[in-house]
Structure 1
């Protein structure tokens, strides 16, 4: 890769890092990555094996079992509960609601509209008339001379002078308290300043020095180490994934060329021709012979059944004679030959 050149023609120098993180990272990066790779590769391969086994179990065992359990749950729980809710609970609730409406709501509404509302309006009108004409005027006169006049006299000749005196005393007390608070505040200010400098010198400055010169460098080093460890673990995990994938492909290739392909070749080249030959030379003639034997057997059974039926009929005729002919039913309507025609003047009743 060509270096970028400055305008004056000299190549640009790479940037220099002034922090110590570069040295620490360069020292611990390679060993940590080697150790992480050695430790992570078996874990990643075991993880891939478990993942493949888990997917196989999920597709072949857990998913069909879950579907069966879901169907069983629907059959045993959901459908009975839905049927109970739809055909038992809902009609019962509707019946109870209708019964409650008929027995409670309708009588209560009628009682409220026809009885309580007129009674309440009449009582309100009566109380309003009594309050307007019998209670308001005497109560107002008594309230004026028993409450308002004594309260005004008490406020003018007693509460006002007492209030002025209490206000003057309160102002004096507030001035005294202000002076006391000012002096106490000055004392507390001096004490606070002394405590502030003592705390700053004995606690804050040592803690600041410890943080700046000890904890911060150590924290940076630990942060670099942790970052490198995490990067090494991620790098090792990715490399272990590639190794595991390559190992899996190797196993798949070995299985294919040692088991699957020979089995396929044996099936196509050996078993299929042998099966066809056995089918054409043995199974198909046996099937044809079986069908012919079945056909002959069915014909023999049909002939035997016909012979038995004829023998039984001959025995019945020898024992009981020929069965009599069934007489036709006497119909009330005339037959076609005896019916009246358009070109004849005779009928069935007048014909000889």
Structure 2
């Protein structure tokens, strides 16, 4: 045990019977024969699934992801960035200019003065109503309340007298006769009925108890005892045997699955080695020993001289192409000159002004009358 690890608590081993030992070996042999092909097929499917995932599913998923982004995400991002956001900014500016600023102006310069005026008028009306309430309505209300209090006192006195009379009549005409009837008639009759009911209930209970006891013993003898004997002497031993068999089958399946895994791994390694020695190593040897030297020879003897010759031909043909382009340009210019003529020379304009030293100045006279 490595140092530092807590000790592993092992459960005490249960002694096995001869039935488990006798069943274990043939069950494990049969299960191993049945499980090995299944495990090899399972491992082959796992390897094929991994290869299919690496070669097809993952690249296809990446391609579909890129296609989904290109079809669904990027257009919406571009639409949001280059259409919705600028339009929203323009609409926000328009809303601010066309709605918010006029509403603020209306509130500040129209509604606020009107509200102040209405508040001033309301305060005046409230003050007037307060004076009316204090000097008119309050005294009138006090007078009405004094009259109502007097009427209430009169009505209360009348009600108390009527209530006293009705209560005295109800006591001696209803309550006293009812109490006498309950005490001397109903109570003895109720007690007699209760005693009769208790006797009837005891009799019915005894009958039901006897019938229940008889049915209990009949059911116990006819159903419970045979079922208990069947469970104890038949089902329990059979269940124990089946439990041993099932446990051994499960253990055999576990051992067979692990052994089949080792066998499948060994077979896979053998097939991989065989494939490498039959296909991969010859292809590698052919590539390294045959194709690489042949490729080097072809590159040194054919491709490089051909590339050098192509570069030489290109360097030689470049001046020829330039001369040909210049010749074509000159021929096109000559044809244009023959068809449309050469470029015209500008004529001097006669502005009827002296030229050179005879130009008109402010300090000299050029007219015939003032000329010296």
TM-score, normalising length: structure 1: 0.64
- Which has the higher mean CA deviation after the structures are superposed, 195-204 or 232-241? 195-204
| Distance in 1 (alpha carbons) for counterparts of 2:159 and 2:46 | 94
Q: Distance in 1 between matches of 2:270 and 2:242?
A: 41
Alignment CA distance shift 1:16-1:295 (3 Å): closer
Distance 1:189 1:309, change over 3 A: same
Matching of residue 272 in structure 1 with residue 292 in structure 2? yes
Work out the number of aligned pairs and report it: 275
Distance 1:181 1:53, change over 3 A: same
- Partner residue of 1:250? 270
Offset at residue 303 of structure 1 (A): 0.8
> Whole-Å Cα distance in 2 between the matches of residues 68 and 146 of structure 1?
101
Deviation (angstroms), 1:197: 2.3
- Residues 1:237 and 1:194: Cα distance change in structure 2 (over 3 Å): same
Across the aligned residues of Structure 1 and Structure 2, the Cα RMSD in angstroms comes to 4.3
Q: Which residue of 2 aligns with 1:208?
A: 228
**What is the distance in 2 between the residues matched to 1:44 and 1:68?**
34
Alignment of 1:51 with 2:71, yes or no, is: no
Shift of the 349–174 alpha-carbon distance from structure 1 to 2, 3 Å rule, reads: farther
Check 1:257–1:194 CA distance in 2 against 1; reply closer, same or farther (3 A cut). same
Find out whether 1:324 has 2:345 as its counterpart.
Answer: yes
Q: Distance in 2 between matches of 1:79 and 1:152?
A: 97
After TM superposition, the structure 1 stretch with the greater mean CA deviation from structure 2, 216-225 or 192-201, is: 192-201
Per-residue deviation, 1:265: 1.6
Assess, with a 3 A threshold, how the Cα gap between structure 1 residues 259 and 208 changes in structure 2: closer, same or farther: same
Query: Is the aligned partner of 1:176 residue 2:192?
Result: no
Secondary structure of 1:32's counterpart equals helix
CA positional deviation for 1:156: 7.1
Q: 1:150, 1:77 → 2: CA distance?
A: 91
| Rounded Cα–Cα distance in structure 1 between residues aligned with 2:27 and 2:322 | 93
Aligned to 1:306: 326
TM-score (normalizing by structure 2): 0.60
Describe the shift of the 1:246–1:281 C-alpha distance in structure 2 as closer, same or farther (beyond 3 A). Answer: same
Structure 1 pair 272–152 and aligned structure 2 pair: CA distance change class (3 A): farther
**SS in structure 2 opposite 1:29?**
helix
Give the gaps of 5 or more residues in structure 2: 1-12, 100-140, 349-360, 365-372
> Measured at CA, do residues 70 and 310 of structure 1 come closer, stay the same or move farther in structure 2, by a change above 3 Å?
closer
Q: Give, in whole Å, the separation in 2 of the partners of 1:349 and 1:36.
A: 132
Give the alignment partner of residue 186 of structure 1, picking from 183, 206, 215.
206
Q: Spell out the pairing of 1:43-192 with structure 2 (5 A cutoff).
A: 43-76=38-71, 157-158=173-174, 160-161=178-179, 169-192=189-212
1:227-251 alpha-carbon deviations (Å, 9 max, x no partner): 1111111111111111111000000
Between stretches 295-304 and 219-228, larger displacement belongs to 295-304
Give the direction of change, closer, same or farther, for the CA distance of 1:221–1:350 in structure 2 (3 Å limit).
Answer: farther
Deviation at 1:74, TM superposition (A): 4.5
Which blocks of at least 5 consecutive residues in structure 1 are unaligned?
1-14, 99-128, 328-347
Q: 1:76 to 1:311 in 2, by over 3 A?
A: closer
Counterpart check, 1:219 vs 2:239: yes
Residues in 1 aligned to 2:74 and 2:234: alpha-carbon distance in whole angstroms? 71
Indicate yes or no: 2:24 matched with 1:29.
Answer: yes
Greater RCO structure (CA 8 Å; 6+ sep): 2
Q: Secondary structure at the match of 1:324?
A: coil
User: What secondary structure does 2:327 align onto?
Assistant: helix
The partner residue of 1:228 within 248, 260, 264 is 248
